[in-house]
Chains A and B, each alone.
Chain A
């Protein structure tokens, strides 16, 4: 540019001109909604146990229940409206994982069940699965090595 402004100087200008996210508001939303989902999870876990499941079974059933309700809310076009406010509060628990699988499946259904929904379903959650599973394998190897050496 004729004014001779460089990338560094412009970067400072951009930083100054760009409003930050509503930190405290987002934090409070995330804290209470995320906490609320955890309370709901605990409630569901107790409920499944009362019905007759063991603790480990009830924990699995709790995850499945939260995934199921998130999928329903996503299908009803409601989840994104909630998550717009709750942010990490709904993203970090298993609700975020469920939404990240269902939303691309819905979005790309028009491109077919195989090349569309099937292939794109993992476009957001894929990296989480790849690195989550890789990390657990690595952890297992380390644990196994330590146990073997001991």
Chain B
């Protein structure tokens, strides 16, 4: 059953996390979280003839590994929710083409992991589908050629620019009792404070993140300090700074438990990623490689996953439009004691 409290959806029969998997490329493997990925690929083409096909392969691998960890066959899934950054969500479509499963293709820019995960939980909690998979991906090279310039073009990136992660994450949701539960989901609304700079996505997304989080905190009568961790993604260095300032103005000073997936995935000092990581695969892979395993081990028990997206395209930017931001929130808890088999 689902109850609406303000904008927040409370899942009275909580959706539970059955399994998860994260895969990444070479640069992600060289980053601070490289050792925690389920699989990494030195060849970022994954042997495919195009980067779009490589990104599809990333999604397929993430799903395959998550199914394998759950000891589940793909046919057992009642629905798949997947999204990516590319036009017409082609990475997701072609990754899921041969599965023969009910498929919902989603676009929420870099917020797609929280969007797909939140929707998967709602579908599970209301009895529409279980188990259900939420998958997202991004690929540096496929995103660059769609949104920016050719890979070999000799230009300079400004310090506010972020680096699209070559990664994918998959979470499988079930209604069976498991250690990790999702009691709340909060879908955010579009916030646009007039940022036009496509090389400063963190600034475009920070207001949406602050709005969704403050809305959720007001709905649930909680404070940021009540959680072990609040993981935004992917605001980067500039967006995180602005997010903290905006939360302060909203009346919720952020304690040290705020982390940004874009700052966790890469080492900014060594990896030349400027303001940090971005892309649907960034928050998805940080969630599935680091946050959820830490929750399963018990070092984190109560977290908020707040993925943010910049809803723009080269067309809208060229026509002079500003960059609308969005953020969706998923509340994940670890329930003691562990049910058997969790």
A79–B214 CA distance with the chains assembled, in angstroms? 46
- Does residue A13 face the partner (Cβ distance < 8 Å to B)? yes
Interface residues on B, range: 20 to 34
Residues of A within 8 A of B249 (CB): 3, 5
Whether B152 lies near A77 (C-beta < 8 A) is yes
A14–B203 CA distance with the chains assembled, in angstroms? 6
Binds B, one of A34-42, A99-107, A141-149: A99-107
A54–B241 CA distance with the chains assembled, in angstroms? 60
Given contacts A2-B250, A13-B242, A110-B49, contact A103 B152 (CB under 8 A): yes
Whether A96 lies near B154 (C-beta < 8 A) is yes
Whether B153 lies near A100 (C-beta < 8 A) is yes
How would residues 252 to 264 of chain B score, 1 for a CB under 8 Å from any chain A CB and 0 otherwise? 0000000000000
User: At the interface, is chain A mostly helix, strand, loop or mixed?
Assistant: helix
Query: Interface residue count for A (Cβ, 8 Å)?
Result: 39
- Does residue A18 face the partner (Cβ distance < 8 Å to B)? yes
How would residues 78 to 102 of chain A score, 1 for a CB under 8 Å from any chain B CB and 0 otherwise? 0110111011001100001001101
Whether B156 lies near A84 (C-beta < 8 A) is yes
Contact of A20 among B159, B203, B250, B272 (CB under 8 A): B159
- Taking the closest CB of chain A, its distance from the CB of B219, in whole angstroms, is 12
A26–B191 CA distance with the chains assembled, in angstroms? 35
Given contacts A14-B203, A17-B241, contact A1 B153 (CB under 8 A): no
Contact of A99 among B153, B207, B246 (CB under 8 A): B153
Given contacts A1-B191, A10-B194, A17-B203, contact A107 B145 (CB under 8 A): yes
Beyond contacts A84-B156, A110-B49: 12 other A-B pairs, Cβ-Cβ < 8 A, are A5-B193, A5-B249, A6-B193, A10-B195, A13-B242, A17-B238, A18-B203, A82-B154, A84-B154, A84-B272, A103-B149, A108-B150
